[in-house]
C-alpha cells in the first residue's frame, strides 16, 4: 500500500463518522426498499428545509455520472441537446455517458472553467432548423472542473437567458459543498433552487460513502422519474444507505462544515504557493488547486505526496492538481507547506 499522503482527490477516505454511526444505529430496523425508507424521507425533508423549497422533488442516486445521465435523458427529447463548457465533466470524463443516452453535447469554449451567456447564445443562434439538434439544456458545474466558483450574478444571467430562450438550466454539484462555502461565493442553496430547474448536491466528494441528491426545483419535471431511475439500474434496493448519508450530512450543518474544512486547508496551501511566488493555472477558489510548478519541486513533492501532474507546460514546468477534502489532516497540509 501507498505510504505517501494523497492530495489526488476528495474521495480517498471512507465516510464521516457520523454517517457510519447512523448506519450502525439503524442497521436492524426493518425498512421498506427502493427509497421508501424513513431515513431517506427524513433526509429529503432536511434538504427541502435547507433549500427553503417545500415542493422540490428529491431523489438520491449513487454517483455523479449517474446523476447527470439520468437527469439529462429524463428531461430531453431524443433530438434535443445539451450546452456545456468544453471543460465540462460530461464532455471529458464520463465516457460519453450523455451521448450513450442519445444526446449531443454542444460545446462552448470555457472562460476560467465557466460558461458565458455569449457562448451559450452562439450555440443557440447557430441551430436554426431540424437538420441540426435543438439545444435545450444548459449544463454547468459548481464549482467548475477548474475549481472556480460562479458568482450569483453570473448564474443569474445564465438563468435569465435560459428562461427567455426556453432552455433548462441544470447544475452539476459534485463539489457544491466547497462552492457554497468558498470565500469567493455569494450564492446560497436557496438561490440555486430559485435560479435553476434542477441540480444535484454531491455527497461522495464531501464526506459520504456515496450519494448525490438530485433536486427538481419544478416538481412537474420529476414526473415519471422513478421509472427512469429503475430503468437505468439506479434505484437502490437498500435506499436507506443513501438516505443515511444525507440525513447525517444535513444534520447540524455537517455538510457545510466539512466543505469549509476542505476550503480552509486548500487556502492554506494556496497561500504557501503564492508566498513562494508560484502562479496558478486557475485561480484558487475552492478545494482544487492548480499551481504551476518547476519540475524539480514536483519531483520533490512526489516523494511524500500523491497528486496529478495535470498538464506539461514546458520541459521545466507543469501544472499539477492538489485536492483537499473534509478528511484532510491539517498536519499533512503543514508538511506539504514545509516541503515547498
Interaction with its own copies in 310-329: which residues (CB under 8 A)? 327
Based on the shown chain and the rule CB under 8 A, indicate whether residue 130 belongs to the binding site for its own copies: yes
What is the smallest separation between the CB atom of 176 and its own copies, expressed in angstroms?
A: 15
Contacts of its own copies in 4-33 (CB under 8 A) = 5-6, 8-9, 11-15, 17, 20, 23-24, 26-33
- Where are any strands of DSSP class E within the chain? 5-6, 57-61, 80-85, 105-108, 134-141, 168-172, 198-202, 212-216, 288-289, 292-294, 305-306, 308-312, 317-323
What is the smallest separation between the CB atom of 66 and its own copies, expressed in angstroms?
A: 3
- Select from 50, 62, 221, 340 the one that contacts its own copies (CB under 8 A): 62
- Select from 240, 246, 267, 284 the one that contacts its own copies (CB under 8 A): 240
- Select from 49, 52, 55, 92 the one that contacts its own copies (CB under 8 A): 92
Based on the shown chain and the rule CB under 8 A, indicate whether residue 237 belongs to the binding site for its own copies: yes
Please count the other Cβ atoms lying within 10 Å of the Cβ belonging to residue 242. Answer: 26
For residue 174, give the C-alpha cell. Answer: 459534485
What is the smallest separation between the CB atom of 297 and its own copies, expressed in angstroms?
A: 22
SS3 80: strand
Contacts of its own copies in 177-206 (CB under 8 A) = 204-205
Instruction: Please name the residues in contact with 219: beta carbons below 8 A apart, sequence gap of 6 or more.
Output: 55, 56, 57
Based on the shown chain and the rule CB under 8 A, indicate whether residue 96 belongs to the binding site for its own copies: yes
What is the smallest separation between the CB atom of 195 and its own copies, expressed in angstroms?
A: 26
Contacts of its own copies in 202-231 (CB under 8 A) = 204-205, 209-210, 224, 226-231
**Phi and psi torsions of 189, nearest 5°:** -60, -40
Bridging pattern class, strands 317-323 and 288-289: antiparallel
Q: How many residues bind its own copies (CB under 8 A)?
A: 79
Based on the shown chain and the rule CB under 8 A, indicate whether residue 42 belongs to the binding site for its own copies: no
- Select from 44, 53, 103, 321 the one that contacts its own copies (CB under 8 A): 103
Q: Decide whether 20 or 340 has the Cβ nearer to its own copies.
A: 20
Based on the shown chain and the rule CB under 8 A, indicate whether residue 265 belongs to the binding site for its own copies: no
Q: What is the DSSP letter of 9?
A: -
Element (H, E) at 210: none
What is the smallest separation between the CB atom of 30 and its own copies, expressed in angstroms?
A: 4
- Select from 95, 128, 166, 315 the one that contacts its own copies (CB under 8 A): 95
DSSP 3-state percent helix, strand, coil across the chain (nearest 5): 40, 20, 40
What is the smallest separation between the CB atom of 101 and its own copies, expressed in angstroms?
A: 8
Instruction: Please name the residues in contact with 296: beta carbons below 8 A apart, sequence gap of 6 or more.
Output: none
Q: Decide whether 20 or 117 has the Cβ nearer to its own copies.
A: 20
Q: What is the DSSP letter of 77?
A: -
Q: What is the DSSP letter of 314?
A: S
The residue whose grid cell reads 459548481 is 142
What is the smallest separation between the CB atom of 27 and its own copies, expressed in angstroms?
A: 4
Based on the shown chain and the rule CB under 8 A, indicate whether residue 38 belongs to the binding site for its own copies: yes
Q: What is the DSSP letter of 206?
A: G
Amino acid at each position: 500500500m501507498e505510504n505517501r499522503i494523497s492530495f489526488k482527490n476528495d474521495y480517498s477516505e471512507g465516510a464521516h463518522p457520523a454517517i457510519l454511526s447512523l448506519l450502525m444505529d439503524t442497521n436492524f430496523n426493518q425498512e421498506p426498499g427502493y427509497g421508501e425508507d424513513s431515513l431517506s424521507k427524513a433526509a429529503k425533508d432536511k434538504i427541502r428545509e435547507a433549500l427553503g423549497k417545500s415542493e422540490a422533488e428529491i431523489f438520491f442516486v449513487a454517483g455523479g455520472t449517474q446523476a447527470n445521465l439520468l437527469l439529462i435523458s429524463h428531461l430531453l427529447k431524443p433530438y434535443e441537446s445539451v450546452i456545456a463548457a468544453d471543460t465540462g465533466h460530461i464532455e471529458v470524463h464520463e465516457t460519453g455517458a450523455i451521448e450513450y443516452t442519445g444526446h449531443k453535447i454542444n460545446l462552448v469554449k470555457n472562460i476560467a472553467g465557466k460558461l458565458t451567456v455569449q457562448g451559450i447564445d452562439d450555440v443557440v443562434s447557430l441551430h436554426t432548423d431540424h437538420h441540426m439538434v435543438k439545444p435545450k439544456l444548459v449544463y454547468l458545474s459548481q464549482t467548475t472542473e477548474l475549481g472556480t466558483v460562479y458568482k450569483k450574478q453570473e448564474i443569474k444571467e445564465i438563468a435569465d437567458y435560459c428562461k427567455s430562450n426556453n432552455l433548462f438550466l441544470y447544475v452539476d454539484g459534485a463539489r457544491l459543498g466547497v462552492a457554497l462555502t468558498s470565500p469567493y461565493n455569494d450564492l446560497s442553496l436557496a438561490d440555486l433552487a430559485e435560479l435553476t430547474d434542477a441540480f444535484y448536491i454531491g455527497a461522495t466528494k464531501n464526506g459520504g460513502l456515496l450519494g448525490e441528491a438530485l433536486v427538481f426545483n419544478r416538481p412537474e419535471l420529476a414526473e415519471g422519474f422513478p421509472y427512469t431511475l429503475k430503468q437505468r439500474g439506479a434505484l437502490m434496493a437498500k435506499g436507506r444507505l443513501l438516505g443515511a448519508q444525507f440525513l447525517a450530512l444535513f444534520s447540524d450543518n455537517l455538510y457545510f462544515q466539512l466543505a469549509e474544512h476542505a476550503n480552509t486547508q486548500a487556502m492554506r496551501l494556496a497561500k504557501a504557493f503564492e508566498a513562494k511566488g508560484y502562479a496558478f493555472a486557475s485561480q484558487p477558489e475552492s478545494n482544487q488547486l492548480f499551481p504551476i510548478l518547476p519540475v524539480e519541486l514536483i519531483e520533490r513533492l512526489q516523494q511524500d505526496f500523491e497528486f496529478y501532474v495535470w498538464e506539461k507546460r514546458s520541459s521545466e514546468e507543469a501544472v499539477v492538481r492538489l485536492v483537499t477534502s473534509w478528511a484532510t489532516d491539517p498536519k499533512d497540509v503543514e508538511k506539504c507547506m514545509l516541503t515547498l
